[in-house]
Structure 1
Amino acid sequence: MYLLGGNGHCKVVVDLLKKVSSITIESIFDDQPKFKDIAGIPVYKTNSLDFFRNKELIISIGNNHVRKRIASQIEANYLSAIHPSAILASDVVIGQGTVVLAGAIINPSVCIGKHCIVNTGAVVEHDCVLGDFVHVSPNASLAGNVTIGEGTHLGIGACVIQGVKVGQWVTVGAGAVILNDVPDFAVIVGNPGKIIKYNSIENG
């Protein structure tokens, strides 16, 4: 398989994949490579996205908006990957291209979309629904029955109480505590969470 994106998030994905014996990474590609290799895997400059057509691929880029743009341009065989130390209930649904990192806990009846990141130590409680291209940062926690819209980024250590609906392309600041529904494109910070501005549609 191949990885597209060769920076910090890629390093974490490589470490995950090296712990999954059934997966071998052939090489890593990046538009502007900063490294010759990552953990011994060669990094090459991306010349054409057509190269990835029908190949096994994970987009190893942390930026939600960039992952969506690339996924819309490449018809690849997108793989999902789950760290061996993550704990997932038996009925959890994980979309293609999604990665679940070390120590994450995902409880029953959760549905996670395509190309998401459930980062280190994140908790997703029962009956949550996450749209495509969502990033749940390290140690962020979602209580039961939370809905997260497409492209939303929950910052490190953020908390969302039960039953809350967070819209699309929302930015939730680090450590924020979300007690009420959040509209699309909002940027919300603090405890309790307060909206301070709105993201543009173009930038997600």
Structure 2
Amino acid sequence: MKGFDKIRLYGAGGHSQIIQAVSNQNGVTVTAVFDDNTSGSHPAFKNIISGARKNPDKFPHTGDPFIIAVGDNSHRVEISKFLKSEFATVIHKSAIIDPNVSIGKGTVIYAGAAVQPNTIIGEHVIINTLASVDHDNIIEDFVHVSPNATLCGLVHVGEGTHIGAGAVIIPKIKIGKWCTIGAGAVIIRDVPDYSVVVGNPGKVIKTKSLL
């Protein structure tokens, strides 16, 4: 955690539970949890504040900084447009982050993850448990790198892309924006925007509609 001793969370699902646990381990207090869909909230959360987007004039945008605690990349984009707030960064104590890494606001990095020198990580990115991001990577805004995924050196991942659990990206690959890389896929060639890729070696099985 960088620079804050209190934060607020927007989102009350399983992903938010992890962020709260990391915050507690770092001595950071979660002062409030907001979610407009409380039907899907995690049992760990009590006193969830709802109705924020229906009553934006009454929403407390000022105060402790937020983390958008939602795993879905497109939902994080929507919420980021609504929230007029400062954003914190959450980093688990066991994560290995080289000093020459740039990390954008609202990004979370979980237990056991490693991020190597000269990597640039954008805003509202998720680097999940035990993910490995090697040197000179560029990870654009709203990307989710899932548990145990491996990004070798000089990889560029476009905005909003989801890298599935255990996927491997070989060096010097460019993955476009809003792609989905399936769990366990091995990416050995560049991936166009909006592609869904699965398998070893990875193959594009469809192209998503434009967002």
TM bucket normalised to smaller: over 0.9
Contact 1:122 1:136 in 2 (8 A): yes
Contact 1:36 1:43 in 2 (8 A): no
Q: Which residue of 2 aligns with 1:8?
A: 14
Letter paired with 1:196: I
Distance in 1, matches of 2:17 and 2:60, equals 20
The sequence identity of aligned pairs, in percent, is: 43
Q: Decide whether aligned partners of structure 1 residues 36 and 109 sit closer, same or farther in structure 2, where only a CA change above 3 A counts.
A: closer
Distance in 2, matches of 1:61 and 1:73, equals 14
Matched, 1:43 2:48: yes
Q: Which residue of 1 aligns with 2:62?
A: 54
Displacement of 1:37: 5.9
Q: Which residue of 2 aligns with 1:118?
A: 127
Displacement of 1:32: 1.7
Displacement of 1:138: 0.3
Displacement of 1:49: 4.5
Counterpart of 2:24 (choices 14, 18, 22) is 18
Distance in 1, matches of 2:99 and 2:37, equals 39
Q: Which residue of 1 aligns with 2:195?
A: 186
Letter paired with 1:25: V
3-state SS of paired residue (1:77): coil
Letter paired with 1:44: I
Contact 2:12 2:42 in 1 (8 A): no
Q: Decide whether aligned partners of structure 1 residues 52 and 135 sit closer, same or farther in structure 2, where only a CA change above 3 A counts.
A: farther
Alignment of 1:1-150 (within 5 A): 1-21=7-27, 23-34=28-39, 35=41, 38=44, 42-47=47-52, 48-50=55-57, 51-55=59-63, 56-150=65-159
Distance in 1, matches of 2:131 and 2:56, equals 32
- Give the unaligned 5+ runs of structure 1: none
Q: Which residue of 2 aligns with 1:163?
A: 172
Letter paired with 1:123: S
What CA RMSD, in Å, does the superposition of the two structures yield over aligned residues?
A: 1.4
Q: Decide whether aligned partners of structure 1 residues 31 and 96 sit closer, same or farther in structure 2, where only a CA change above 3 A counts.
A: same
